[in-house]
Every structure is written in structure tokens, then in C-alpha cells.
Structure 1
């Protein structure tokens, strides 16, 4: 079954998060996703708050930019999240927007090399290993986490109620090289909003090439963001959002309409190969809490 989620867009102020989390949790939404976009809101801080304010909601961070964070620190924070909130934290990492990385003096000469070294080390740290590595970017000398995740903390919190993504390191990817790398070294892949159904199929092929090259045969879930709007002014708001993102006329990367229209779109992206579809509202949605209730209560029953 397709997992359905929604985004708390960081253009909303942090003080709005609690009400949105409560609406998501109370309505039965499966997943709420957060972003660490520069220079808005921190991903780990918001994820921790969202997990603490909810009882059953899974909270994803998609994604943490690796140039901003030492891998040991990320390992410490993710291990803590997994132990505090078993089976409910989903975290992705990625290159980050290169212009933003340049603004803070963290732009890597080879983002792909950095991501490979980073994800490899992060997965090993979360597995409880002690690492000594001298890579181009990642350098660790006898580093191990004192409190790595336990089998109980990274497993399903509620048996079959948990979705396909409840552990591991996800990678946000767009280009072919990064998609292959995700298949090779990561436990799942996050595809950005603006990925059409053909893009999902192509991403799946590239991910599988990486998995085959690495000899990996375990499941590799794919998460995709899908622009969505509902309500009386949904078409107008989505048209403005498409302009803001620079999408072409006719480019099939968004949906605006009622529950049936949104569910039909979700099912199309799922049929193309997405395990999780995360609906991304417009930043000017007049009722963010209502959008989450709409997704959980009206769209979810229509999604396969």
C-alpha cells in the first residue's frame, strides 16, 4: 500500500508547527515531512519537536545538507531521535543547494564524493561500528557512538501500522549520478517536487543500476514530493506556485482540486514506482492544518 504524507513547508514560521503536528496526529496522517532549507528552520530541531508533540505520527526530514553538518554530529542526532522515538524518525541527507552552500563557505568541490563518504560513514556509525577513515572530506579517528540505535529503536513502532520507511539513511537525489549513488549506498531515495511520473520511472531504473552494481537486493523505498492544492482558490494558487518554481506549461508535476483529483494523482505517481507520496502544499495555503486533515481524512481512503 502506498504511504501518504504531507509537508510542513518552512515558509511557515516555527511557531505554527505545533498546531500542524497536532492536526496531523489527530487526523491519522501517516507522515509529516520537514525541510532544512537555508535559511529557514533547522531540520533536527523541528523533527524533535514534532515527534515530541505527537503520539503515532512518523516525521521525515528531507533533507539535511551534508556540507553543513559533521557526520559524527549527524550520527549522534539521528541515533538520539531513533532511541527517543522508536520507528518514527525518517531522515534523508543530500548535497544541499550549491548556491546556499557557497553562501556559508561549505560548498564542496566534489559533492558526489562528499555524499558517498558521508552516507557510508553515517550508516556505519548508526550500525554501532567504530570508524577510522581518512577520506577526501570525511575523516574520523576511532569514532563510535556511545548510544547507537538499538534493534528495537529502529524497528516498527506499531507492527503493521508502520510504513516501509522506519530506519536507515535516505538520500535526496535528482541527477543520474546521485540516483545511482543512492541505490549503491543509501537505504532509500527522496525525489524532489517537480518529478513527473516518467521521472519516477527513470529514477527507479538508475537507483536499481546502483543497487545492482553494489550487489544489494534489499528493498529500497522511494519517496516523492508532489505539489498539491485544494479549496476554492486551489487552481490559482497552484498556477502561481508553478511560476515560482519555473515549471513549463503542461508539465505534469502538480495537482489542484478535490480529494478525487488529488488521489488520482497520488495513484499515478505510486504506479510509476513511488512507495511514499508526500503532498506539498503551497506556502500561502490559507489553512495548513485543514490541508493535513484533508490529506488524512479525504484523500487517504481513495489511495491504493
Structure 2
């Protein structure tokens, strides 16, 4: 069965996050996803808060930019999340937006090398191993976590380019595909990877001004057309769209509202209470 989630965009002020999280939890949403976009909100801080405010909601972070974070610190933080909130945290990592990485002096000459070294070391640390590595970017000297997760912690990798997607299939436990990914693109990634652990963001808007807001998204992201890149309309229309991405190979479809959605709490309730039932009937 397809997992259905929603994004709480970081353009929403942090003080609004609790209301959205509690609405999602009470409505029965499968997953609430958060972003660590520069220079808005931190992914680990917001994920920890949402997990603490809720009882059953799974919380995804997609994604943590690896150039910003020492791998040992990331391992410490993720281990704490997995031990405090077992089976509820879903973490993705990736290159980050290169212009943003340049702004903070963290841009890597070889993002692919960094990502490979980072995920390899992070996986070993989260598995409770003692790690020594002297890579081009990742350097650890006899490092081990005192409190590793009690069970293996999956690491998802986000990406858009073919090299990153191949690397995600090789060393990741799942792949996060950005909003604007078409069903055809999902199908090609699914066929090349050979598994169904694909998380796909899907632009979505509902309400009387949905079409106008989605046109704004098309312009903002530079899409030549919104066809096959978004879903708009009532619950039936959006559920039908979700099915298309699911049939193409997405194991998780995460509906991504527009930044100017007038009711973020209402959006997560809509996804959980109106769209979700149509996918299970």
C-alpha cells in the first residue's frame, strides 16, 4: 500500500509548526516531512520537536545537506532521534543546493565523493561500529557512538542527476525524488533501482484558488508545463494523481503544498482525512 505524507514547508514560521504537527497526528496522516533549506529551519531541531509533540506520526527529514554537517555530529543526532522515538524518524541526506553550500563556505569540489564517503561512514557509526577513515572529505579517528540505535537506521538519499541516483541505489536504503518529478521519471528510476523504496514529493493544491497557486509554483520552479508535475483539485482528483505516481513505482508519495497555502493545518487534515481514504477503498 502506498504511504501518503505531506510536507510542512520551512517557509512557514517555526512557531506555526506545532499546530501543523498536532493536526497531522490527530488526523491520522502517515508521515509529515520537513526540509532543511538554507536559511530557514534546521531539520534535526524541527524533527525532534515534531516527534515530541506527537504520538504516532512518522517524521521525515528530506534532506540534510552533508556539506553542512560533520558526519560524527549527524550520527550523534540521528542516533538520539532513533532511540528517543523508535521507528518514527526517517532521515534523508544529499548534496544540498550548491549555491547555498557556497554561501557558507562548504561547497565540495567533488560532491559525489563527499556523499559516498559520508553515507558509508554514517552507516557504520549508526551500526555501532568503531570507525577510522581518512578520506578526501570524511576523516574519523577511532570514533564510535556510545548510544547507537538499537536497530539498523535506514539512510535515504535525495538526488536529481543520474550519477546521484545511481549512487543512491548503490549505497542508500531509499531514494528521495524532488517535486516536479514526472511519473515517467519515477518509472525509470524504479526500473534502474529494482526496488520500491522511492519517496516522491508531489506538488499539490486544493481549494478555489488551487490552479492560480499552482501556476505560481510552475513559474517559481521554472517548469515549462505543470502537466505530470503536480496535482490540483478536490480529494478525488488528488487521489487519482497520487495513484499515477504510485503505479509508476513510488512507495511513498508526499504531497507538497504551495508556500502560500492559506491553511497549512487544513492541508494536512485534507490529505489524511479526505485523500487517504480514497487510496485504500
TM-score normalized by the length of structure 1: 0.90
2:76 is matched with 76
SS across alignment from 1:303: helix
1 CA distance for matches of 2:35 and 2:277? 26
1 CA distance for matches of 2:98 and 2:226? 28
2 CA distance for matches of 1:228 and 1:170? 23
Query: Within the alignment, does 1:196 sit opposite 2:182 as a pair?
Result: yes
| Contact 1:179 1:206 (C-alpha < 8 Å) held by counterparts | no
Deviations 1:242-283 (A, max 9, x none): 111111125410011000000001000000000000000001
Correspondence 1:1-304 to 2 at 5 A: 1-151=1-151, 167-208=153-194, 221-249=197-225, 251-304=227-280
SS across alignment from 2:262: coil
TM-score normalized by the length of structure 2: 0.98
Are residues 45 and 250 of structure 1, via their aligned partners in 2, closer, same or farther at CA, if it must alter by over 3 Å? closer
1 CA distance for matches of 2:127 and 2:38? 29
2 CA distance for matches of 1:220 and 1:44? 26
1:212 is matched with none
Deviations 1:30-85 (A, max 9, x none): 10000000000000000000000000000000000000000000000000000000
2 CA distance for matches of 1:194 and 1:104? 27
| Contact 2:108 2:114 (C-alpha < 8 Å) held by counterparts | yes
1:211 is matched with none
1 CA distance for matches of 2:223 and 2:217? 9
SS across alignment from 1:149: coil
**TM-aligned CA deviation for residue 235 of structure 1:** 0.9
2 CA distance for matches of 1:264 and 1:256? 10
Structure 1: give runs of 5+ residues left out of the alignment: 155-166, 209-218
2 CA distance for matches of 1:276 and 1:49? 23
2 CA distance for matches of 1:274 and 1:233? 28
2 CA distance for matches of 1:132 and 1:58? 33
| Contact 1:189 1:220 (C-alpha < 8 Å) held by counterparts | no
Superposition RMSD in Å: 1.0
2 CA distance for matches of 1:242 and 1:36? 22
Deviations 1:219-240 (A, max 9, x none): 6611000000001111111111
2 CA distance for matches of 1:149 and 1:299? 34
Structure 2: give runs of 5+ residues left out of the alignment: none
